[in-house]
Structure 1
């Protein structure tokens, strides 16, 4: 198979962050700057921090002082705490924390350059995590965070520090207020909605005198904590009305709530005008790997979305091109284009896939994002592709790939067919770059067909570990996406078409159909049974149409009619 095998959870994550595990120095020759974090030792409970329900302040164990943070992952929560801090553009910062206990992650998001994180599998003794980052040219605030890992034990954190030059809204000693007022600030006024999408609401309000930070509440629950007078609330449901209020806080306490405003998110769009409610996706080989050579016209009729695998990268970061492999036997490129048009005339969508095992397309700044968007649109125009599939297996940058996809969507509109095929570890929680990309672009995302293979055991949404190759593995891992911000219509099950199509994780067609029934109807489940059903589930994907043909079309003949017969 084309997919590279994944190691177990710890090794897989460690490979991606190994360079960050060691303590990193601050700017060469620079004197250390004041800590910019508020309540960095949790001496004042969770003041200044926005935490989910699985994190709390504790008096034992502590490293110094009288307080620390205790985070106990439970269910779909990985005990995340975060704080947004004012910074200056184009400056280097050093973030550190002392931790002990179970798996602990430390990171910085919204840096305007490369978001960074580091982690440890845990220890009985206090150990320091540290990293550095440089802010972008227009960045005036960053969000630092800590969290554990699904299904692992409690972690403790103490004595965090963010060293560097503070911005205008920083709560640290550089650029922050030196003489805080004696009273809590007044309630913010002038709260107003400045924009909505299908999954977000943008807010602005007037500054409250003496405020150091603001808490944004959605239907009574704190959603964001910011230092400025604007916020974008994300992770909302389409076509839903929310009540929003804001409070102000400083070292002396929190204000009363602002007057409420209501806002309704927009209906979800996207998905392509050819894609049926329940769809079958198949990858088609633009190469000969010993399975079956197919012309595009020969792809089995059960497939609704055909992903042409793969685009090629050029010498320019972010730019892609496509070269038809002579091994396929096409007499001309025009003949291939005619095959695309013929499939589309049958109501099928044909898209260009980017990535695969060897496809290393680098999109890590605005220039490469623009090149990716421009070259993808050029291929769509030249060949008639309906859209693009993101199948990058060598790391992605959600910030800049979001920029690129936004540009592609802006140019094509809601006819765009946009799919993703992340590996299992890429969708284990919402903090991964792949998951962030999916959530950033879900207003027009067609489907995420996660690869449920070549991965070994993984955590399900209930915090339990499931082995690949079982119905529970398919349903419990799909639940993570279904319960963490993606619409059911944006979730599909990606599986190999035959045992030879992947290194591990093959399941027979009946197991796939059982998982589909469990998720959509609540029937034929294994030991894992979701709390609710998802009748809008998009369907299933396979690697590949060629391997399916090699196995006598056994997969598409069994799974295709089942997908198309879902409720």
Structure 2
């Protein structure tokens, strides 16, 4: 009688004994509760055989085949040794645990002993592919540890085991997470001629994600979004995502298709003049003169298109041209942007405003902002962005967003900010911290010196809005707080209708500019030194300026351009 035949009879006898004693061989795992964890350690054998003990040196770490992650257990029976590999796990008394493992190769058993109630095991004949074994057990009234094990059968082929779980209440010994579920809701976001942005729903228990392009892994991510770069223009790709943790890797998600754009980088455009006038252009009709971009007064060096719109994805931007502006097509609008740039102007997209609400409070939302902002720059020809968020910001993640955008857009990026007065009263505010964080890529901060009431100046005194002292003493805070003079501008309404309060006659604006740059025409406050490199001034808006006969730009514009 050959050895194989005898072995099969022994297995059959063991099976009959188990059935006869009422042992559950193929019991289904119970439904896990929300607080349950995998109390087994190194459950996916990613750390070799750590935490496992294999009889007779029968166990080894295998890199192929694996069910999840990069490793699995290979155990080889020899002689009278059945290649038993075990681990003692900490459990809670009077508790139910679901035991499972993925196995392949020769005959494989999975079981638990020392449960304090009925010990359990289950098995499967040899298998050419991965097969899951599952059973469950209940601990006794005083049981605090249980031994879980796998083993093969005498003289049979080696078996492989991976992703073992003992799922139930944590008995205090810690353990590994279970393999996370497959990420759901994979969607394509902003695309460029060489990149596709992806996002997906977070998978419970995941510590990372892998992104696959056309079936091949191309990168990893530590959050639920990623941008795949290095792609060919005008080309479609298939993308899938898996979730990973110490226990292994989930199956791949359903594939989604992303197609890169045809290209058309707008380029850096003209450089911003040493002294510049910024004007906000209204992409809506609120009673001010309705303008097309071609109608914006020639004094304005930076034109901030107001405003970008947010999407349902946190941090993501889009732009919707308002029909009220009167353009026959989006192409005409783009042509106006190109014409302004040819005339030496910078056209940027403003983000926020009184009613705008773009949330950037996570790595995913920061990436979504950068990807979408850059995509809009490429699509429309914008030279950069203006940050006009009035509903609170997170300096950590806004900084990340702007850094990512800068990396994509290059040194030609025009980056401006328009914080409210309260946002720049101290270097400890989130806005001021953001400005300092991105100082090396920041063009100008045009603080809004209006709609604020009285504020403190850099000398600790209170100044009322609408005065030369208000402008100079508050600008001093920024100048002494770390911003370069070239990064400071005075933001003011173009007319009494342009803001609720804080309108300043253009003559006083010119006086404030002279005080800061030349030390002349000051009020009661005079800075300790002059700042001849001051960038200039800003107004809300070019439309309200036009409504008032362009009085603001005709007066302030030439004065800005003639600063020292």
Please report the TM-score for the alignment, with normalisation by the length of structure 1: 0.52
Q: For 2:371 and 2:412, locate their aligned partners in 1 and report how far apart those are by CA, in whole Å.
A: 17
Q: For 1:296 and 1:386, locate their aligned partners in 2 and report how far apart those are by CA, in whole Å.
A: 15
* Secondary structure of residue in 1 paired with 2:287: coil
Counterpart of 2:529?
Answer: 532
Counterpart of 1:350?
Answer: 347
Q: For 2:323 and 2:445, locate their aligned partners in 1 and report how far apart those are by CA, in whole Å.
A: 31
Whether the 8 Å CA contact 2:468–2:508 is kept in 1: the answer is yes
Whether the 8 Å CA contact 1:307–1:350 is kept in 2: the answer is yes
Whether the 8 Å CA contact 2:270–2:346 is kept in 1: the answer is no
Match for 1:484 among 473, 481, 484? 481
Matching of residues 485-524 of structure 1 within 5 Å = 485-524=482-521
Counterpart of 1:428?
Answer: 425
Matching of residues 392-407 of structure 1 within 5 Å = 392-407=389-404
* Secondary structure of residue in 2 paired with 1:281: strand
Counterpart of 1:382?
Answer: 379
Q: CA deviation at 1:389?
A: 0.1
Q: CA deviation at 1:414?
A: 1.3
Counterpart of 1:359?
Answer: 356
Counterpart of 1:558?
Answer: 555
Deviations 1:18-53 (A, max 9, x none): xxxxxxxxxxxxxxxxxxxxxxxxxxxxxxxxxxxx
Q: For 2:283 and 2:289, locate their aligned partners in 1 and report how far apart those are by CA, in whole Å.
A: 11
Counterpart of 2:39?
Answer: none
Q: For 1:272 and 1:433, locate their aligned partners in 2 and report how far apart those are by CA, in whole Å.
A: 30
* Secondary structure of residue in 2 paired with 1:475: helix
* Residue 439 of structure 1 pairs with residue 436 of structure 2: yes
Whether the 8 Å CA contact 1:311–1:355 is kept in 2: the answer is yes
Counterpart of 1:101?
Answer: none
* Residue 324 of structure 1 pairs with residue 321 of structure 2: yes
* Secondary structure of residue in 2 paired with 1:524: coil
Q: CA deviation at 1:438?
A: 0.1
Q: CA deviation at 1:413?
A: 1.5
Q: For 1:399 and 1:306, locate their aligned partners in 2 and report how far apart those are by CA, in whole Å.
A: 27
Q: For 1:330 and 1:413, locate their aligned partners in 2 and report how far apart those are by CA, in whole Å.
A: 30
Greater than 2 Å deviation, 4+ residue runs: none
* Residue 454 of structure 1 pairs with residue 472 of structure 2: no
Counterpart of 2:246?
Answer: none
Q: Kindly report the root-mean-square deviation, in angstroms, between the aligned alpha carbons of the 2 structures.
A: 1.3
* Secondary structure of residue in 2 paired with 1:287: coil
* Secondary structure of residue in 2 paired with 1:323: coil
Q: For 1:380 and 1:478, locate their aligned partners in 2 and report how far apart those are by CA, in whole Å.
A: 30
| Structure whose CA Rg is larger | 2
Q: For 1:561 and 1:354, locate their aligned partners in 2 and report how far apart those are by CA, in whole Å.
A: 28
* Residue 411 of structure 1 pairs with residue 408 of structure 2: yes
Deviations 1:543-564 (A, max 9, x none): 0000000000000000000000
Deviations 1:75-124 (A, max 9, x none): xxxxxxxxxxxxxxxxxxxxxxxxxxxxxxxxxxxxxxxxxxxxxxxxxx
Match for 2:462 among 461, 465, 472? 465
Counterpart of 1:122?
Answer: none
* Secondary structure of residue in 2 paired with 1:415: coil
Q: Which structure would you say has the larger RCO, counting Cα contacts within 8 Å and 6 or more residues apart? A: 1
Counterpart of 1:275?
Answer: 272
Q: CA deviation at 1:273?
A: 4.8
